[in-house]
């Protein structure tokens, strides 16, 4: 019998072969289908990038227009889903609301025609189109308001910000938000993607695949770090407090939020792009001290921890961007999910193309041959 070494968290063990995205953590490179994210952030849109990831190639003009058109006209959610969401407690976390709503979609579209390209396409369109509507609807309903109907004349990101704030967004803010979605859409074999692929491998429906990935993304070790960055910046409160704060973290061996990465040992390329976006936002909508605090943090952490390969990660600047846009902190992770759903769907499709159900093994370390003790003798 082959003896396998046990690796907690399956660290370093390939769970799939994939051509969707690639990371070089030493050089700070991230590619989607071979294209560097810097180029996509500059020239592409979220929907075009989603198409690239899911279907493997950049779409032609006609293909992109057809995809955008389909997504635009599938944004509305069924009134029964809206009514179901109205029953959710307003104190509940929006990620739990999103997971339940994504799973509920499967009740309405229960066909599992996984070999039919039209079924795959419809499911992709429906999920990418309705997830933002569900996030915005929960946000409004928990404040006691009716959800806002999607606007067919607005692009994907502008429409989401409109549904969230009940007003048309500034074009720069909408474009920056769209770039944030591009930067969060995919990142190789992380926990939620693995979860999506395991669920996909049972040949269940794509709504269950996305719901299980949303549940996995919700944890603080995965999608939730950008919320904690904002908390930390607020606690620090001023540029003068940065150095003592970092010193204190290092003495207590506490992790500084928004820094360090399992794969990147240089600055996360997404953080570099997000920092520039944050600068543009602050320039247009007014400077605030949190950006100065963040800059000072980056300087001091680099001085103290660059030798360990600790630099800002994607979560360090994304929270700052969303905060400046007036987005509530507990929506940061649902927004991450709005983007990542396209990555999960690309992995769903790739998994189906060469499926083998996930069935790892375990190393049993329990007891054997234990007699059953009657309840009155326990
Ligand atoms: C992301 C993270 C879990 C990566 O962890 P990892 O790959 O296991 O990194 P390691 O724990 O091996 O780090 C190596 C060293 O750097 C230190 N380090 C790593 N991240 C650090 C951080 N954010 N602040 C301070 N020190 C840090 C570790 O304590 C360790 O020091 P040691 O060698 O003296 O023990 C970790 O950096 C972290 O918790 N960061 C903060 C949370 C965060 O921003 N998460 C979002 C990730 S996208």
- Compute the distance between CA of residue 347 and CA of residue 199 in angstroms, rounded to an integer: 11
Structural domain that includes position 110:
19-218+337-353
Residue identifier of the C-alpha nearest atom 7 of ligand 1:
262
Q: What is the pTM of this model?
A: 0.95
Nearest to 124 by CA among 43, 228, 53, 39: 53
Per-residue pLDDT tens digits for 109-152? 988 899 999 999 999 999 999 999 999 999 999 999 999 999 99
Q: Confidence band (pLDDT; 50, 70, 90) for 360?
A: very high
Per-residue pLDDT tens digits for 64-87? 999 999 999 999 999 999 999 999
> In this structure, are 162 and 236 located in the same domain?
no
Residue identifier of the C-alpha nearest atom 36 of ligand 1:
260
> In this structure, are 54 and 143 located in the same domain?
yes
> In this structure, are 77 and 212 located in the same domain?
yes
Q: Are 259 and 316 in contact (CB under 8 A)?
A: yes
Using DSSP bridges, classify how beta strands 21-24 and 29-32 pair: parallel, antiparallel or unpaired. Answer: antiparallel
Residue identifier of the C-alpha nearest atom 32 of ligand 1:
308
> In this structure, are 191 and 259 located in the same domain?
no
> In this structure, are 214 and 96 located in the same domain?
yes
147: CA distance to ligand 1 center in Å? 40
> For position 39, what pLDDT does the model report?
98
With a Cβ cut-off of 6 Å, ligand 1 is lined by 225, 255-262, 305, 308, 310, 313-315
Catalytic residues, by residue number, are 261, 315
- Compute the distance between CA of residue 302 and CA of residue 311 in angstroms, rounded to an integer: 6
261: CA distance to ligand 1 center in Å? 6
Please give the tally of structural domains in the chain.
2
Non-local (6+) Cβ contacts of 203 within 8 A are 112, 114, 352, 355
Q: Is the pLDDT of residue 3 over 60?
A: no
Average pLDDT of the segment spanning 156-165: 97
Average pLDDT of the segment spanning 351-367: 96
Residue identifier of the C-alpha nearest atom 26 of ligand 1:
255
Per-residue pLDDT tens digits for 288-312? 899 999 999 999 999 999 999 999 9
Closest atom of ligand 1 to 259 CA is 23
> In this structure, are 85 and 176 located in the same domain?
yes
> In this structure, are 53 and 132 located in the same domain?
yes
> For position 221, what pLDDT does the model report?
82
Exposed/middle/buried for residue 117 (C-beta within 10 Å: 0-12, 13-18, 19+): exposed
Average pLDDT of the segment spanning 308-322: 92
255: CA distance to ligand 1 center in Å? 6
> For position 2, what pLDDT does the model report?
61
> For position 5, what pLDDT does the model report?
86
């Amino acid at each position: 019998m082959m003896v396998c070494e046990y690796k907690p968290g399956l660290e370093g063990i390939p769970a799939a072969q994939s051509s969707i995205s690639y990371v070089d953590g030493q050089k700070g490179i991230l590619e989607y289908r071979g294209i560097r994210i810097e180029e996509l952030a500059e020239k592409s849109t979220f929907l075009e990038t989603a198409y690239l990831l899911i279907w493997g190639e950049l779409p032609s003009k006609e293909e992109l227009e057809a995809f955008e058109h389909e997504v635009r006209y599938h944004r509305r959610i069924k009134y029964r889903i809206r009514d179901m969401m109205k029953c959710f407690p307003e104190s509940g976390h929006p990620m739990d609301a999103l997971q339940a709503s994504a799973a509920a979609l499967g009740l309405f579209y229960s066909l599992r025609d996984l070999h039919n390209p039209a079924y795959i396409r419809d499911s992709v369109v429906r999920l990418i189109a309705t997830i933002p509507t569900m996030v915005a609807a929960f946000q409004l309903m928990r404040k006691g308001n009716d959800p806002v109907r999607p606007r067919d004349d607005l692009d994907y990101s502008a429409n989401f910000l409109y549904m969230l704030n009940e007003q048309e967004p500034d074009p720069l803010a909408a474009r920056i938000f769209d770039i944030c979605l591009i930067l969060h859409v995919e990142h190789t074999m992380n926990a939620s993607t693995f979860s999506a692929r395991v669920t996909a491998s049972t040949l269940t429906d794509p709504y269950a695949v996305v719901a299980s990935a949303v549940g996995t993304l919700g944890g603080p070790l995965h999608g939730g770090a950008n919320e904690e960055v904002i908390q930390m910046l607020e606690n620090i409160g001023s540029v003068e407090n940065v150095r003592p704060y970092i010193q204190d973290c290092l003495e207590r061996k506490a992790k500084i939020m928004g820094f360090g990465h399992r794969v990147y040992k240089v600055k996360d390329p997404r953080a570099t792009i997000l920092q520039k976006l944050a600068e543009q936002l602050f320039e247009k909508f007014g400077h605030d001290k949190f950006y100065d605090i963040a800059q000072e943090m980056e300087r001091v952490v680099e001085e103290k921890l660059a030798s360990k390969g600790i630099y800002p990660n994607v979560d360090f600047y994304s929270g700052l961007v969303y905060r400046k846009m007036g987005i509530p902190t507990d929506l940061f992770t649902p927004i991450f999910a709005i983007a990542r759903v396209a990555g999960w769907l690309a992995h769903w499709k790739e998994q189906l193309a060469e499926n083998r159900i996930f069935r790892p093994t375990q190393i049993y370390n329990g007891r054997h041959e234990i007699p059953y003790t009657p309840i009155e003798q326990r």
